[in-house]
């Protein structure tokens, strides 16, 4: 018989409610957390400020150059001298071999020789800096073998008429490498080519004149001097270089959100908060929608701030381009980056790694964007050959699209006169035609040789932000989570994923029944404790009846409101050789009746938490299943979660949320309306005596107060089954006793499973107690039953009169022998005036009989007092933990007295 489930909200209503409360949680944790929005706004502001300062510095640097100054009367530059290559301005000459001002050919021609010698003399150079050769080919070969060692070469072809030189053809070659030296680009034209040219022409003309007019003194007749200068000019406008270097900084602003999102998500997973919310019925869709919307909100804010700060600092790219265009570029870029954060989340376990991942992604992006800024592959030729492949691959990465977008914005506002890009031009400004083929319209920005316009960038980013989210959700399902739960990679193809299979007791439990039969037949099965075996048999019987389709009675349903059928949990250890497996829970069968508190005891590492996690659906058991009020944990977990309350062993609370906010959030996730959740939070806070501190953030709570919040969360919305994993750890004795009352109150009509290391607690609270050790149940039953089975039974303390012992030294011996005669026992301990008798393995009636006999003889024997004690649960625990089932140890001392009769 299944209990009726509480009426549930419709799917869309619960998603709506859950998403709103999760968004509220994100907003509060962000507002109050270390990752405050101030930091985000600060990052936008800080990076824009850096860009501003770098721009100012670059402009100041450029202002030194003559180009940017007002030149009214340019100086004439004399060009007479050929510069000496040793100045090392135009030649690298790094290997320090001799360098040459000029190579010339053909050296065997006497007229050529004459010209070159005059050049050397007139330019005041050293003759060693001029190298003669025979042919042009020889010079080329020399240049090829001696890179950067000659400034220029000249080949002179002397025309001869009647044995006299009448004209000269010459070829001049110069080293055209432009060198950047002391903030200036040294133009080879000015600095080497023109001087060489002028010298050669001057000396050739002189030589020809000499032969033509037959005068050797005619040199002085021709004067030849050349000077060059530029026009007078106004200063060149200093252009902002922002588009060239801003991309990496603006990209860095986006990375802040990436790291913040990744950290928050992984922290929620690592602390168990996500699992905690799942346990109360948080839907996966609510989880993802809430995070996605949260990203929309934060990215909207941060993109707005980037654009606003950019305008504030008067950046042309923000002022002249359409506001919507710049905003969308940042917003969509950041949304796509959030998609990447979701994908990384699927693989990450530790929030600390988020920063390292952030650095890695930033570095990767930095390198890629430098390529994009060089103009490839988003150019007019993008469709040719391999270009297209790179075009597609590089567009997958949002930072590349950001860089391209910023580059276009920068180009469109390169000068004061540039018009910028308007909203309706977001696609048309970018044309694939070459510059020469484009007709430019004044006042409209057109970019030739361009592909990937803004419009296309937005489409890529928008598609990416959805696809990356879908991939992230898929990965979240198939990558093993912190509890090693995952679905097969083809899970979405399985029709049962979309339309869950109706759970069929017969089919489902048949395997468990046959496994049980096999394990009963195995050697060693008979060594199990009698009560444990009986429990197993009763439950196996119930299973068999379910399998054969028989109805269960109402009393049985009540007795086994929760029934655990052979739960096994094996952890595969990734560190042990050959993937050794560790069985943490080895086939546990137990039942808890309605209204009962079931205490699970056991030493550290016994498997209590593992068992509870299997029962709450946090862990998937390796074998077995359990029924809670008729619902199977394996197949109907979502239904069970509507009546489940879980207090995990370790508090999974948000440091920045208050106790009240925690309770309200969990109540809403469980399906309560806003008003109901408020009331429920108030009640539960009062129940655990936290009303006074309800509005303090959890970070200011003591360990015990946190524990009480966790217990209160587990009691929200009247759950029918409550699991409390060490609920009272860290509570002071007064609060602990109060908590016992709370738990006892809560037990009415419900099932409570509780683990504890306090024997007193188990003794007081537990209707039934089981001791788990090394994954196996060693005993199960009421406290009294365990004590009589595993404790030393009853202890009779007989108090003698101190005075009589003083008066009669043999008094104690007398009493011992008389009592031996009366009840047939010897004391196990004798200290001063107290004799201790251990009445082991007697039931309560027999013990009482003995007590009565001794009571009657009290006066006669001169006894001062009598006390009958039951052995403690602690003793039972120690016995079981030491593996001494059935044997009796008293205080770990002396011997054991067996009854004689
Ligand atoms: N994720 C895991 N992977 C591998 N082994 C695990 C894992 N979790 C628990 N174990 C092992 O399973 C055993 C049972 O652990 P469990 O946490 O259930 O013990 P417990 O009874 O709750 O102990 P405690 O009283 O200390 O809380 C331990 O030996 C533990 O080392
Ligand atoms: Mg535990």
Domain locations in the chain as residue ranges: 14-49+242-477, 77-228, 505-781, 785-881
pLDDT of 341 reads 94
Ligand 1 centroid to 710 CA: how many Å? 20
Q: Give the number of C-alpha atoms closer than 13 A to the C-alpha of residue 777, restricted to the C-beta side.
A: 28
Q: Which residue is closest in CA terms to ligand 1's atom 7?
A: 571
What's the pLDDT tens digit per position in 450-490?
889 999 999 999 999 999 999 999 999 999 888 888 888 99
CA of 573 to the centre of ligand 2 (A): 18
- Asked if residues 282 and 669 have their Cβ atoms less than 8 Å apart, the reply is yes
602 Cβ inside 6 Å of ligand 1: yes
Report how far ligand 1's centroid is from the alpha carbon of 582 (Å).
Answer: 10
Reply yes or no on whether the pLDDT at 744 is more than 80: yes
Phi/psi of residue 569, each to 5°? Answer: -135, 125
Pocket lining: 604 vs ligand 1, CB cutoff 6 Å: yes
Residue 891: its pLDDT value, please? Answer: 36
Q: Take residue 129 and report the two structure tokens written for it.
A: 């800096």
Q: Which ligand is nearest to the CA of 725?
A: 2
- Answer positive or negative: Cα dihedral of 454, 459, 464, 466: positive
Report d(CA 568, CA 775) in Å as an integer: 9
pLDDT bin (cut points 50, 70, 90) of residue 184 is low
Spatial separation of the C-alpha atoms in residues 159 and 168, rounded to whole Å: 6
Percentage above 90 pLDDT, the chain: 39
pLDDT for 885 equals 45
Tokens found for residue 833: 């005036």
Q: Which atom of ligand 1 lies at the shortest distance from residue 606's CA?
A: 21
The predicted pLDDT at position 644 comes to 94
In which band, very low, low, confident or very high, does the pLDDT at 890 lie, cut at 50, 70 and 90?
very low
pLDDT recorded at residue 73: 76
Strand 102-105 and strand 152-161: pairing? parallel
Domains 505-781 and 785-881 share a fold: no
Of 220-229, 552-561, 569-578, 697-706, which has the strongest mean pLDDT? Answer: 697-706
Report the separation in Å between the CA atom of 610 and the middle of ligand 1, taken as the mean of its atom positions.
6
Residue 676 has pLDDT above 90, yes or no: yes
**Is the peptide bond between 377 and the residue preceding it cis, with omega within 30 degrees of 0?**
yes
Q: What is the pLDDT of residues 579-625, one digit of tens each?
A: 678 889 998 999 999 999 999 999 999 999 999 999 999 999 998 99
Residue 421 has pLDDT above 70, yes or no: yes
Q: How far apart are CA 805 and CA 351, in angstroms?
A: 72
Average pLDDT, the chain: 85
Residues 715-741, mean pLDDT to the nearest whole number: 93
pLDDT of residue 182: 62
Between CA 284 and CA 675 the distance in angstroms is: 24
Class of domain 505-781: alpha beta
Residue 387 confidence (pLDDT) above 80: yes
pLDDT at 887 over 60: no
Cα–Cα distance between 229 and 305 in angstroms, integer? 49
Question: How far is the C-alpha of 511 from the C-alpha of 887, rounded, in Å?
Answer: 36
| pLDDT reported for residue 823 | 82
pLDDT higher at 482 or 762? 762
**Residue 405: which of 362, 458, 444 has the closest Cα?**
458
**C-alpha dihedral sign at 242, 248, 251, 256:** negative
The vertex-102 CA angle with 96 and 108, nearest 5°, equals 120
Mean pLDDT along residues 309-328: 91
Give the span between the Cα atoms of 268 and 263, in whole angstroms.
9
Taking the C-alpha atoms of residue 631 and residue 767, their distance in angstroms, rounded to an integer, is: 23
Q: Does domain 785-881 have CATH number 3.30.465.10?
A: no
The CB of 9 under 6 Å from ligand 1? The reply is no
Q: Is the pLDDT assigned to residue 573 strictly greater than 50?
A: yes
CA distance 873 to 879: 10
Residue 847 has pLDDT above 80, yes or no: no
- Least confidently predicted of 122-126, 362-366, 549-553, 830-834: 549-553
Q: Which two tokens stand for residue 484?
A: 């090693």
Is residue 766 a contact partner of residue 599, using CB atoms and an 8 Å limit?
Answer: yes
**Would the pLDDT of 853 be above 90?**
no
Give residue 839's pLDDT.
74
Q: Is 93 exposed, middle or buried (0-12, 13-18, 19+ CB in 10 A)?
A: middle
- Residue 608, ligand 1, Cβ within 6 A: yes
Backbone phi, psi, residue 159, to 5°: -85, 135
Q: What integer pLDDT is reported at residue 453 of this predicted model?
A: 92
Q: What is the mean pLDDT of residues 571-576?
A: 67
Cβ of 210 less than 6 Å from ligand 1:
no
User: Which band of pLDDT confidence, cut at 50, 70 and 90, is reported for residue 575?
Assistant: low
First to last CA, the chain: 49
Model pLDDT for residues 110-168, shown as the tens digit of each residue? 999 999 998 888 888 888 889 999 999 999 999 888 877 888 899 999 999 888 888 89
Cβ atoms of 155 and 170 within 8 Å: the answer is yes
571 Cβ inside 6 Å of ligand 1 = yes
Q: Which residue has the higher pLDDT, 500 or 691?
A: 691
Q: Is 569 in the pocket of ligand 1 (CB under 6 A)?
A: no
Between helix 284-312 and helix 11-32 the angle, nearest 10°, is 50
Q: Which residue has the higher pLDDT, 662 or 253?
A: 662
Query: How far is residue 142's CA from residue 563's CA, in Å, rounded to a whole number?
Result: 96
pLDDT of 338:
94
- Taking the CA atoms of the chain, what radius of gyration do you get in angstroms? 46
Residue 607 Cβ contacting ligand 1 at under 6 Å? yes
Long-range contacts of 581-587 (CB under 8 A, 24+ apart): 583/775, 584/610, 584/775, 585/610, 585/611, 585/614, 585/621, 585/775, 586/774, 586/775, 586/776, 587/519, 587/623, 587/624, 587/776
Tens digits of residue pLDDT in 46-65: 888 888 888 888 877 777 66
């Amino acid at each position: 018989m299944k209990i009726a489930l509480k009426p549930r909200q419709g799917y869309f209503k619960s998603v709506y409610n859950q998403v709103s409360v999760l968004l509220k949680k994100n907003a509060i944790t962000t507002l109050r957390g270390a990752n405050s929005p101030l930091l985000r706004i600060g990052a936008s502001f800080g990076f824009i400020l850096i860009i501003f300062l770098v721009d100012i510095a670059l402009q100041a640097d450029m202002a030194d150059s003559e180009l940017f100054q007002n030149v009214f009367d340019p100086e004439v530059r004399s060009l007479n001298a050929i510069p000496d290559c040793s100045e090392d301005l135009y030649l690298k000459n790094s290997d320090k071999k001799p360098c040459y001002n000029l190579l010339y050919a053909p050296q065997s021609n006497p007229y050529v020789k004459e010209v070159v010698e005059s050049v050397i003399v007139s330019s005041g150079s050293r003759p060693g800096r001029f190298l003669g050769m025979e042919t042009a080919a020889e010079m080329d070969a020399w240049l090829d073998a001696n890179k950067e060692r000659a400034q220029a070469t000249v080949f002179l072809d002397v025309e001869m008429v009647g044995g006299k030189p009448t004209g000269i053809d010459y070829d001049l070659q110069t080293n055209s490498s432009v060198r950047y030296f002391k903030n200036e680009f040294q133009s080879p034209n000015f600095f080497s080519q023109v001087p060489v040219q002028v010298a050669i022409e001057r000396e050739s003309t002189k030589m020809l004149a000499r032969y033509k007019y037959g005068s050797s003194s005619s040199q002085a007749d021709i004067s030849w001097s050349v000077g060059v200068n530029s026009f007078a000019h106004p200063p060149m406008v200093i252009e902002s270089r922002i588009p060239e270097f801003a991309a990496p900084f603006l990209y860095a602003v986006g990375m802040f959100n990436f790291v913040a999102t990744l950290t928050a998500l992984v922290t929620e997973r690592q602390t168990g908060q996500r699992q905690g919310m799942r346990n109360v019925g948080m839907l996966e869709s609510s989880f993802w929608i809430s995070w996605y919307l949260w990203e929309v909100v934060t990215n909207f804010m941060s993109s707005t701030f980037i654009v606003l700060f950019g305008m504030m600092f008067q950046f042309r790219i923000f002022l002249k381009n359409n506001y919507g265009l710049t905003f969308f570029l940042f917003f969509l870029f950041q949304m796509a980056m959030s998609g990447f954060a979701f994908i990384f989340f699927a693989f990450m376990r530790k929030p600390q790694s988020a920063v390292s991942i952030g650095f890695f992604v930033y570095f990767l992006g930095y390198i890629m964007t430098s390529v994009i800024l060089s103009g490839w592959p988003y150019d007019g030729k993008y469709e040719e050959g391999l270009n297209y492949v790179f075009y597609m691959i590089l567009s997958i990465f949002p930072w590349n699209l950001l860089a391209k977008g910023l580059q276009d914005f920068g180009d469109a506002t390169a000068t004061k006169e540039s018009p910028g890009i308007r909203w309706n031009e977001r696609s048309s400004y970018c044309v694939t035609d070459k510059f020469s083929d484009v007709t430019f319209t004044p006042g409209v920005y057109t970019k030739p040789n361009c592909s990937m316009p803004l419009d296309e960038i937005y489409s890529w980013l928008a598609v990416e932000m959805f696809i990356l989210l879908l991939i992230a959700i898929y990965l979240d399902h198939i990558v093993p989570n912190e509890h090693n739960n995952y679905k097969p990679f083809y899970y979405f193809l399985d029709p049962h994923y979309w339309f869950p299979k109706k759970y069929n007791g017969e089919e489902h439990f048949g395997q468990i029944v046959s496994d049980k039969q096999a394990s009963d037949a195995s050697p060693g099965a008979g060594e199990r404790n009698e009560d444990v075996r009986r429990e197993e048999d009763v439950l196996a019987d119930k299973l068999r009846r379910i399998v054969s389709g028989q109805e269960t009675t109402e009393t049985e349903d009540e007795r086994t409101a929760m029934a655990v059928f052979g739960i096994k949990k094996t952890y595969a250890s990734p560190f042990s050789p050959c993937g050794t497996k560790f069985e943490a829970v080895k086939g546990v069968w137990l039942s808890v009746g309605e209204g009962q508190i079931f205490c699970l005891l056991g030493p550290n590492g016994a498997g209590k938490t593992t068992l509870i996690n299997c029962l709450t659906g946090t862990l998937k058991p390796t074998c077995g299943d359990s029924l809670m009020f008729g619902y199977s944990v394996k197949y109907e977990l979502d239904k069970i979660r509507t009546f489940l309350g879980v207090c995990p062993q370790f508090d999974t609370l948000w440091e920045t949320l208050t106790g009240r906010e925690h309770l309200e959030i969990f109540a809403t996730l469980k399906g309560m309306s806003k008003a109901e959740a408020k009331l429920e939070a108030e009640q539960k806070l009062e129940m655990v005596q936290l009303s006074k501190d309800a509005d303090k953030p959890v970070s200011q709570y003591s360990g015990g107060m946190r524990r009480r919040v966790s217990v209160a969360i587990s009691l929200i919305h009247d759950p029918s089954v409550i699991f409390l994993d060490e609920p009272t750890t860290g509570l002071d004795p007064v609060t602990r006793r109060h908590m016992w009352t709370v738990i006892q109150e809560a037990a009415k009509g419900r099932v409570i499973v509780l683990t504890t290391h306090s024997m007193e607690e188990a003794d007081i609270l537990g209707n039934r107690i089981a001791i788990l050790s090394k994954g196996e149940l060693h005993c199960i039953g009421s406290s009294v039953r365990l004590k009589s089975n595993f404790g030393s039974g009853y202890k009779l303390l007989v108090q003698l009169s101190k005075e009589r012992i003083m008066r009669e030294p043999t008094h104690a011996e007398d009493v011992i022998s008389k009592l031996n005669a009366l009840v047939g026992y010897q004391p196990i301990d004798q200290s001063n005036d107290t004799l201790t008798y251990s009445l082991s393995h007697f039931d309560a009636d027999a013990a009482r009989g003995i007590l009565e006999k001794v009571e009657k003889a009290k006066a006669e024997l001169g006894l001062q007092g009598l006390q009958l004690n039951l052995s403690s649960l602690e003793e039972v625990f120690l016995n079981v933990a030491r593996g001494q089932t059935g044997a009796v140890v008293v205080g770990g001392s002396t011997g054991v007295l067996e009854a004689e009769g």
